[in-house]
Amino acid sequence: MGPAGSGKTTVGQLLAGALGWPYFEADDFHPPANIAKMRRAEPLENADRAPWLAAIRGRIDACVAEGRSAVFTCSALKRAYRHVVMDGVPGLRLVYLHADAATLAARLAARRGHFLPPELLTSQLAILEPPDDALAFDVRAHSAESIVAEIRRALGVADGT
């Protein structure tokens, strides 16, 4: 979890590949109306996020029912959003990727082909409630590869095992 530009997709894909687990990108769960709203640089409201979070939670529940581990990305900026996707899920671990606003803004300005414009970063940071119970990484101090290695260690699945 983390705001736009924090590297969720990069780290999530690397981690899923390293573990041999499926990867689920939260952006893929947005209804078309949400994507259109964000393209217009309009921040999502809680009501906009509800079906998106429910869809992510539904896929998490399906993985649990199938007995499959998976890697999911989700901004999950508020505690309430995290409760929707996480509560009652056995073995779920949360990773929080973060950086200062200037770093995130620079990353978003360099990003191409994504529907979320850099102008929405301010609204994301305004509602961000950092988690207390996550593996946390300042992405300025850690490469995506080193973050993946740390997550693997925390999961008890070190490199080469």
Give pLDDT tens digits for 97-153: 999 999 998 888 877 766 666 777 888 899 899 999 899 999 999 999 999 999 999
Question: What does 47-80 look like in DSSP terms, one character per residue?
Answer: HHHHHHHHHHHHHHHHHHHHT---EE-----SHH
- 71 vs 63: CA distance, rounded Å: 10
- 56 vs 26: CA distance, rounded Å: 7
pTM for the predicted model, two decimal places: 0.89
The residue written with tokens 């970063």 in the block is: 121
How far from 28 is each of 55, 64, 83, CA to CA, in Å? 10, 19, 20
The domain segmentation of the chain, as residue ranges, is 8-155
71: phi then psi, degrees, rounded to nearest 5: -110, 130
CATH top-level class for 8-155? alpha beta
Q: What is the pLDDT of residues 47-58, one digit of tens each?
A: 999 999 999 999
